[in-house]
Chains A and B, each alone.
Chain A
Amino acid sequence: NAGVMQNPRHLVRRRGQEARLRCSPMKGHSHVYWYRQLPEEGLKFMVYLQKENIIDESGMPKERFSAEFPKEGPSILRIQQVVRGDSAAYFCASSPTQGAGTDTQYFGPGTRLTVL
């Protein structure tokens, strides 16, 4: 059973360009979470999605950032007009169901975004 897949693993963009990060959850998982990790700051929640629905985007910046999880295909985190402060590691996690909130999240290897 393949784990959570993320691509690309490394992404370099110039200021003002768009960054598109992809996440394929584990087989059988229908819940996807995106996190951002900055050095010395730990892991910060961004958005929680189910297929075709955004459940919680309370951690997502209001501008330039968007996320989707279509019926078919991977979840996409899109950052428009990137700035240097967007440079970070972005992790995707998936879980099978909400259950009673006890489900473990399984993480992908991350995409390391560098903005020049």
Chain B
Amino acid sequence: AQSVAQPEDQVNVAEGNPLTVKCTYSVSGNPYLFWYVQYPNRGLQFLLKYITGDNLVKGSYGFEAEFNKSQTSFHLKKPSALVSDSALYFCAVREAGGSYIPTFGRGTSLIVHP
């Protein structure tokens, strides 16, 4: 079985400061990991994914995420937050060779204060 946890319902950060949105996962084998962002009244937009290779993945809008196998984590990061980054962020996992349906976390609301 595959599962994903986003331990924080909300993250608050000041504009210009670095941000981290946490995600941990559980799969039996190797994971495929995804981050999506959702703006109000919009669909989810793909940010980045980890399939294999370099543990640090760079994505859209200056976001990056680091795959840590020993900690089963895939935290989303950005060096300098913008007010426009305020949105709902979803982590998703799919097990390699397993179900084609990803499991999504409950989402973390990121609020960037001016």
Question: Once the chains are docked, how many angstroms separate the CA of A104 from the CA of B42?
Answer: 18
A81 at interface, CB cutoff 8 A: no
Give the size range of B's interface with the partner.
20 to 34
Q: Is the CB of B101 within 8 A of A45?
A: yes
A33 at interface, CB cutoff 8 A: yes
Task: List B residues 50-79 near A (Cβ within 8 Å).
Answer: 51
Q: Is the CB of A43 within 8 A of B90?
A: yes
A25 at interface, CB cutoff 8 A: no
B45 at interface, CB cutoff 8 A: yes
Task: List B residues 93-114 near A (Cβ within 8 Å).
Answer: 94-107
Give the size range of A's interface with the partner.
20 to 34
Q: Is the CB of A107 within 8 A of B43?
A: yes
Residue of A nearest to B103 (CB): A45
A2 at interface, CB cutoff 8 A: no
The residue that A101 contacts in the complex, of B36, B90, B100, with Cβ under 8 A, is B100
Tell me whether A43 and B51 are in contact in the complex, defined as CB-CB below 8 angstroms, given that A56-B101, A101-B98 are known contacts: no
**Residues of B participating in the A interface, judged by any CB pair closer than 8 Å:** 32, 34, 36, 41-46, 49, 51, 90, 94-107
